A and B are shown apart, each in its own frame.
Chain A
Amino acid sequence: MSAPSTAIRLGLIGAPNSGKTTLFNALTGLRAKVANYPGVTVERREARLALGDRAAVVIDLPGTYSLEPLSPDEAVVLRVLDGELSAAPDALVVVADACSLERSLPFVAQVLLRGRPTCLVLTMIDELAARGGTIDVPRLERALGIPVLGVIGHRGRGLDALVRLLGRPEDWSRPVLPPPTDPIERSHWADSVFASVSGVRPGVHRLTEAVDRVVLHPIAGTLLFAAVMITFFQLIFAWATPAMDGIDAVISATAGWLHATLAAGLVVDFLADGLVKGVGAVVAFLPQIVLLFGLLYLLEDVGYMARAAFVVDRVMGRVGLEGRAFVALLSSYACAVPGIMATRTIPSPRDRLVTILVAPLMTCSARLPVYALLIGAFVPAVPVWGPLGLQGLVLLALYLIGSVSALAMAGLFERTLLPSSALPFYLELPSYRMPSAKLWFSQVWGSARAFVRRAGTIILSVSVVLWVLLHFPRSEPPPGADGPEAARLTLEHSLAGSAGHAIEPVIAPLGFDWKIGVGLLASLAAREVIVATLAQIYASSDADASLRAAIRADVDPRTGRSVFDAPTVASLLVFFVFALQCLSTLAVMARETNGWRWPAFAFGYLLALAYAASWLTHRAVAAWSGAA
């Protein structure tokens, strides 16, 4: 038995699409621990495993084409090799796609120059054979001076030999002469090594050529792209709904059962309405996350996501983002939580961060109940043009403002916050591959588990805290107060009610009174909560017709004017377009960026944007309606 301190640390290093992560998953199964490297949005994946009688830690280093970093994110690989971010790996395993060995040799040379025990694993040797290519492995071993092994990672072929090899790094042969250090000389060295080991170069991948003729065709490819994106959208917008409704029903039934079984009082209120509903708030995201990642990883593993990025690159490139950001932003129309998680497939950590920062601006489905209430109550249902009514036009305008702002802010961040002029754009189109069910499952499972463990715990605790704020201190309802009236009094005298009064001077310039203030505070749990909160404040029993009537009829006793006049309604709608009123989004941002710095920044800039835009809207509508 080896003590943990003697475990050998093996670093898997290689290009994106080299099959490195597939190999890592094949070796480690579901044991991988996924975290972030400190200070960067680069994932750190490690797993312990036994290699024969030796304990080992396998580190899946971020995919890279070079050890000459162009950005702080690319420098992560180098810093791991130097032992700056975690204990340095004792030995390095270079992973290269057998079909692109020719291209990978200069990288192998860069790794050899590090002077660590090194071996080379050639993946996808089945594809090499299918494309008619050959590599003389014993010759390659002699030319490089290190052990070389061919595997088929997703089929698990060659893994036994690999495990035997990895367990004995001290026995690995070392190069007699190091490769050249000059980049040009190194490329000549690579060419001569390749010339001596390659019998036949792999031909084109016929299947990939044939599929790409359709998938990347100017018309068919664009239509396919649109169909895939609509599927993504439908998946989380509509197809996740039955499962979410089911979860909702189970949660409500559990809360109801608790109320019916236990004696009425504070404890049961807390259990049923605070804790159980908080758990429900977490679990309710799982159908969306599982469906989104199910499709996303399937398309990524097959090789389509790189093509999707190729098709929309021109559009996203305008604002400095790459094509894959499109899926994340589109998913955010349903919900920013899975949308932000979907940024994981964006290879550039910088683009990933910008996408995360602007994703909350995409109009998510939680804003719809708020828009529906306000538009339904205050915008007249008059036809404007054909079947288009004024209500629909207002809704469309809100979606447009959000989307255009997201792209504009992305462009602004790319130019100011994280300038990128030095970074080249390149995208590899991998060959189409049959996905492996095991790998796919471990990816989807990993995403769901990471969400529940890292973001779920935050969402649950915040839901409980919000419940306390909305229910304490307790006030005794006066005799004769019925259910809705008692609930209204509890809320008005709660900490949140007091906070609503306290922030009134700050939000008054936007046209909001304390009741809207309480609603805004409560909506931090989820935007649509403002509807239920307003219903509670107006002591209306249902959130539909009677609430609409109640907010229309509400008159400010001091001014004698409607609380919800045209400037206020417009300003509130605009506020919801911009403000990051969602703690789940903040929690998932914290999980994905490894800290509270970026969520705090996002909350701050979106609040500032919301405040400024609402204030301007309020002034503009007030001036216009005063003049009209």
Chain B
Amino acid sequence: MNATLPASRSLPLSQLAPGQRAQVKAVDASSPIGRRLLELGFRPGTELRVVRRAPLGDPTTYELRGSRFCLRRSEAQRIAVAPLDFPTGDDPLSRA
């Protein structure tokens, strides 16, 4: 992940760091898993926040539309998002 990415460029949700906010850009509605993610509220236009990862690194909790959902990396990869801002600090990767 690179801090200089243009904000309009979308990337998989699984690549966001805890604390980051993003807007859902696309979910593949042709697969049953994609449709279920849509039904859980991961709809294009939805704003979400990466809350935290589990102690062992997977799954990750996301907050959206008043609920907190945990997704494993394999599901989060199916959701394309555009980051809205970075958490305080210059580079999210350098944060301890």
Residues of A in contact with B (beta carbons under 8 Å apart): 65-66, 68, 70, 99-103, 106-107, 133, 183-184, 187, 191, 201-202, 204, 208, 212, 216-219, 221-222, 310-315, 317, 422-430
A100 and B65 contacting across the interface, CB-CB below 8 Å: yes
Central interface residue in B45, B67, B71, by most chain A CB within 10 Å: B67
B69 and A425 contacting across the interface, CB-CB below 8 Å: no
Residues of B in contact with A (beta carbons under 8 Å apart): 29, 32-33, 35-41, 43, 45, 51-52, 54-59, 61, 63-72, 74-75
On whether A425 and B75 interact (CB within 8 A), knowing A65-B40, A183-B29, the answer reads yes
B70 and A424 contacting across the interface, CB-CB below 8 Å: no
A134 to chain B, nearest CB (A): 13
Q: What secondary structure prevails in chain B residues at the interface with A?
A: mixed
Please name all residues of chain A whose beta carbon is closer than 8 Å to the beta carbon of B66 when the two chains form the complex.
Answer: 99-103, 133, 201-202
Q: What CA separation (Å) do A184 and B38 show in the bound complex?
A: 9
B48 to chain A, nearest CB (A): 11
On whether A310 and B59 interact (CB within 8 A), knowing A66-B39, A201-B66, A428-B68, the answer reads yes
A425 and B71 contacting across the interface, CB-CB below 8 Å: yes
Q: What CA separation (Å) do A218 and B65 show in the bound complex?
A: 26
Q: What CA separation (Å) do A310 and B74 show in the bound complex?
A: 15
Contact check: which of A70, A99, A217, A315 meets B36 at CB < 8 Å?
Answer: A70
A66 and B55 contacting across the interface, CB-CB below 8 Å: no
B69 and A311 contacting across the interface, CB-CB below 8 Å: no
Please name all residues of chain A whose beta carbon is closer than 8 Å to the beta carbon of B69 when the two chains form the complex.
Answer: 426-429
Please name all residues of chain A whose beta carbon is closer than 8 Å to the beta carbon of B64 when the two chains form the complex.
Answer: 103
Rank and list the top 9 A-B pairs by shortest CB-CB distance, nearest first: A314-B56, A103-B41, A429-B68, A427-B70, A424-B33, A102-B65, A218-B55, A100-B67, A66-B39
B67 and A313 contacting across the interface, CB-CB below 8 Å: no
Chain B's closest residue to A422 (CB) is B32
B71 and A426 contacting across the interface, CB-CB below 8 Å: yes
7 A-B Cβ contacts within 8 A?
A212-B52, A216-B52, A310-B61, A422-B32, A424-B36, A426-B40, A428-B69
Contact check: which of B33, B35, B58 meets A313 at CB < 8 Å?
Answer: B58
B74 to chain A, nearest CB (A): 8
A311 and B33 contacting across the interface, CB-CB below 8 Å: no
Please name all residues of chain A whose beta carbon is closer than 8 Å to the beta carbon of B57 when the two chains form the complex.
Answer: 314
Please name all residues of chain A whose beta carbon is closer than 8 Å to the beta carbon of B63 when the two chains form the complex.
Answer: 204
Chain A's closest residue to B58 (CB) is A314
Q: What CA separation (Å) do A184 and B67 show in the bound complex?
A: 20
A422 and B59 contacting across the interface, CB-CB below 8 Å: no
Central interface residue in A66, A219, A312, by most chain B CB within 10 Å: A66
